[in-house]
Amino acid sequence: MGLRWYSTVINCRDPRALAHWWAETLGWQIVHEADDECVVVPAHLDVEDLRRVPWAEMPQGLVFVPVPEDKAGLNRLHLDLACHLADDRDALIAGLVERGASYADVGQGHDVTRTVLRDPEGNEFCVLSAREF
């Protein structure tokens, strides 16, 4: 069967707070919350559903783990978020900023169709142009 992408791990100072921030951002849910690890998965699945999902169809999750140091430098990997064409992209970005995200200049220029932000712990992510699919 081979390997499959299972989760993305995000190192952070406060896993609980950052997991809650990302769960709210994505409309996902926290299925495990402990001092050493918090796990966020799509909201349409509860823990019992996850046990019934075939291995090849298991959705990826985000895992937040504690590290003692603050983030330094740019991420080598980042998440790209997008909204549907029917959504108000600018309002969604404003909502992220109100909840603790900040704008990031990573040298992207003014002619790009994405907005680069940082989550409350400084991890960069992009909000792409609105998409139909």
User: Where do the CATH 3.30.720.120 domains begin and end in the chain?
Assistant: 7-66
pLDDT of residue 71: 92
Residue 12 has pLDDT above 70, yes or no: yes
pLDDT in tens, 70-82: 999 999 899 999 9
Which residues 6+ apart lie within 8 Å of 127 measured at CB?
81, 82, 83, 89, 92, 93, 96, 114, 115, 117
CATH topology of domain 7-66: 3.30.720
Two structure tokens written together for 128:
């792409």
Tens of pLDDT, residue by residue over 60-107, are 999 999 999 999 999 989 999 999 999 999 999 999 999 999 999 888
Higher pLDDT, 20 or 58: 20
- Quick check: 40 and 64 in contact, CB under 8 A? yes
The total of other beta-carbon atoms located within 10 Å of residue 104's CB is 19
Report pLDDT for 112. Answer: 86
